[in-house]
C-alpha cells in the first residue's frame, strides 16, 4: 500500500502504536502491527462454518441457523484481548471497523458470505448506546460491509430493554436476562433474506440466540452468525 508523505509525517509526530504490544507502527500498518496480527489466536471456523464450536452453540436453539464463525478466540487476560477491550471500554470505535475489515477479507477468501443478503449488528439498548457513544457491533459490521460489499441494516431490529453486563452471569442467568429484549420494527426488510448477525463476543450465545428468535418472526431465509471473538470453554 502506497503511504503518503503526510501519513509518514503524522507517524513521526504522533508515534502511532500497536494497540496490543504498544510498539510504534510502521507507516503501512494500522492499529495492530504485523507481528501481533500474525500472533492473533485465529479460529478455524471459516474452514468449516456449518460445524464448529461456535456453530454448535446454535444447534437446536435457532431454527434458521445456517453457519457461524468468529475471527479469534477470546482469552480475557491475554494481550490478544486488548483490541476488544479498547473497542468496548476505551472509546476506540475505529479499532472495530479495522478488525471487521480484517475478518471480512478472510471471509471473502472463503465461501462464508455466499448468499448472505444483509448484515445486522447486534443492537444496543438506548441507555448503553448513550453511555458508550457508539455500538461496537455496528463498528464491526461497517468493517465487514466495506470488505464484503454486503449492506448493513442497523434499524430494523432494536433492543427494547436494558440489562446489566452478562460477564459474571452463569449460562442460565444469561438466558433469562435476554428473553424478549429484542423487537423487529421493519419485518419487510428481513423477510426472505439471509441475514448475518454480527456480535462482538460470543460466550454462551444467549444474547445472539434471543436476537435471532426475534428476527425469525420475520421469516428470513436463514440466519448466520459472525463474531469478533468466541469463548472456548474447553480452554
Spatial CB neighbours of 177, under 8 Å, sequence gap ≥ 6: 163, 164, 166, 169, 206
Write out the E strands in 19-105.
Answer: 65-73
Mean pLDDT of 119-138: 95
CA dist 234 and 150 (Å) reads 33
Residue 143 CA from chain centroid, whole number: 10
Say whether pLDDT at 173 is over 90: no
DSSP 84-135: HHHHHHSS-HHHHHHHHHHHHHHHHTTTTTTT--EEEEPPPPHHHHHHHSS-
Which tens digits make up the pLDDT trace of 39-57?
A: 999 999 999 999 999 999 9
Mean pLDDT of 163-189: 72
pLDDT of residue 1: 46
Which tens digits make up the pLDDT trace of 58-81?
A: 999 999 999 999 999 999 899 999
Give the Cβ contact number of residue 66 at 10 Å: 21
Q: pLDDT category, 234, cuts 50, 70, 90? A: confident
C-alpha cell at 149: 460489499
Q: pLDDT category, 179, cuts 50, 70, 90? A: confident
Q: pLDDT category, 8, cuts 50, 70, 90? A: low
Q: Length of the chain, please? A: 235
Q: pLDDT category, 15, cuts 50, 70, 90? A: confident
Q: Do strands 118-121 and 157-159 pair parallel, antiparallel, or not at all (unpaired)? A: unpaired
CA dist 168 and 231 (Å) reads 14
Which tens digits make up the pLDDT trace of 75-115?
A: 989 999 999 999 999 999 999 999 999 999 999 999 999 99
C-alpha cell at 46: 471459516
Q: What is the CA radius of gyration of the chain?
A: 18
As assigned by CATH, the class of the 41-230 domain is: alpha beta
Which tens digits make up the pLDDT trace of 186-201?
A: 999 999 999 999 999 9
Whether the CB-CB separation of 205 and 223 falls below 8 Å is answered with: no
Q: What is the mean pLDDT of the chain?
A: 90
Sign of the alpha-carbon dihedral angle for 231, 123, 163, 97: positive
Better-scored residue on pLDDT, 7 or 136: 136
Domain ranges of the chain: 1-39, 41-230
Instruction: Report pTM.
Output: 0.89
Q: What's the DSSP call for residue 230?
A: E
Amino acid at each position: 500500500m502506497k503511504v503518503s508523505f503526510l501519513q509518514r509525517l503524522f507517524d513521526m509526530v504522533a508515534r502511532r502504536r500497536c494497540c496490543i504490544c504498544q510498539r510504534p507502527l510502521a507507516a503501512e500498518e494500522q492499529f495492530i502491527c504485523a507481528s501481533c496480527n500474525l500472533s492473533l489466536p485465529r479460529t478455524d471456523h471459516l474452514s468449516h462454518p456449518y460445524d464448529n464450536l461456535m456453530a454448535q452453540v446454535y444447534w437446536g436453539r435457532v431454527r434458521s441457523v445456517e453457519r457461524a464463525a468468529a475471527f479469534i478466540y477470546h482469552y480475557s487476560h491475554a494481550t490478544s484481548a486488548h483490541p476488544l477491550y479498547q473497542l468496548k471500554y476505551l472509546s476506540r470505535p475505529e479499532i472495530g471497523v479495522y478488525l471487521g475489515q480484517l475478518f471480512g477479507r478472510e471471509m471473502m477468501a472463503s465461501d462464508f458470505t455466499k448468499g448472505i443478503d444483509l448484515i445486522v449488528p447486534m443492537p444496543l439498548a438506548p441507555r448503553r448506546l448513550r453511555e458508550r457513544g457508539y455500538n461496537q457491533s455496528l463498528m464491526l459490521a461497517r468493517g465487514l460491509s466495506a470488505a464484503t460489499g454486503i449492506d448493513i441494516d442497523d434499524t430494523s431490529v432494536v433492543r427494547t430493554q436494558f440489562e446489566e453486563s452478562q460477564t459474571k452471569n452463569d449460562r442460565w442467568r444469561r438466558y433469562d436476562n435476554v428473553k424478549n429484549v429484542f423487537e423487529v420494527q421493519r419485518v419487510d426488510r428481513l423477510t426472505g433474506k439471509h441475514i448475518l448477525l454480527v456480535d462482538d463476543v460470543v460466550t454462551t450465545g444467549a444474547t445472539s440466540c434471543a436476537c435471532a428468535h426475534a428476527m425469525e418472526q420475520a421469516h428470513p431465509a436463514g440466519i448466520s452468525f459472525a463474531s469478533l471473538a468466541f469463548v472456548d470453554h474447553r480452554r
